[in-house]
């Protein structure tokens, strides 16, 4: 019994540091993907206005202007795995949070009627190197996301 108590004490002392390490690694991967997405957008002539816009618990990774259109862009970065698309992680709940945050952004800049679109950029990384970037324009609309709620 004493051995189990020691094991549990050791686990409780070491486990939080393991979680912190995994979290930092996850955030680094996400930042790498967002940086690559911004470079790709700027090379395509899209003006990046804001990164990581937050309202409450919702966040928009990139707010950009593509001509007259305001783009709210979710960046999904994943390590390369066959048959798994990063964009599949943007479910109905995530779309609702993005829409809610976008409405707040438009209200904050006093431009609620501005033309907008919602994009997803997939970034795939293999061995810490960028493998692929895909830009899916106009992936979802406000009316479609509301209908799913």
pLDDT reading at 59 higher than 50: yes
Mean predicted confidence (pLDDT) in 62-87: 88
Q: Please, are residues 97 and 60 in contact by the beta-carbon 8 Å criterion?
A: no
- Domain parsing of the chain, residue ranges: 20-147
pLDDT reading at 31 higher than 50: yes
Q: pLDDT class for 7, splitting at 50, 70, 90? A: low
pLDDT value of residue 149: 45
Give the C-alpha distances (Å, rounded to integers) separating 141 from 3, 125, 145: 57, 28, 6
pLDDT reading at 52 higher than 60: yes
Q: pLDDT class for 111, splitting at 50, 70, 90? A: confident
pLDDT reading at 11 higher than 60: no
pLDDT reading at 19 higher than 80: no
Secondary structure letter of residue 73 according to DSSP: E
Mean predicted confidence (pLDDT) in 104-119: 90
* Closest to 74 measured CA to CA, from 108, 20, 42, 37: 37
Strand order in the sheet with 69-79: 47-55, 58-66, 69-79, 116-126, 129-140
Q: pLDDT class for 102, splitting at 50, 70, 90? A: very high
pLDDT value of residue 127: 82
pLDDT reading at 140 higher than 50: yes
pLDDT value of residue 88: 83
Does the domain made of 20-147 have the CATH classification 3.40.1350.10?
Answer: yes
């Amino acid at each position: 019994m004493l051995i189990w108590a020691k094991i549990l004490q050791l686990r409780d002392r070491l486990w939080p540091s393991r979680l912190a390490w995994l979290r930092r690694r996850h955030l680094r991967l996400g930042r790498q993907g967002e940086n690559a997405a911004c470079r790709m957008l700027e090379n395509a002539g899209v003006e990046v206005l804001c990164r990581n816009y937050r309202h409450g618990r919702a966040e928009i990774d990139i707010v950009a202007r593509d001509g007259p259109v305001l783009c709210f862009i979710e960046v999904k970065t994943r390590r390369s795995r066959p048959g798994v698309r990063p964009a599949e992680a943007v479910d109905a709940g995530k779309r609702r949070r993005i829409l809610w945050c976008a409405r707040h952004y438009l209200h904050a800049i006093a431009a609620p009627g501005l033309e907008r679109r919602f994009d997803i950029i997939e970034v795939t990384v293999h061995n810490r190197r960028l493998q692929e970037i895909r830009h899916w324009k106009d992936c979802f609309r406000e009316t479609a996301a509301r209908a799913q709620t």
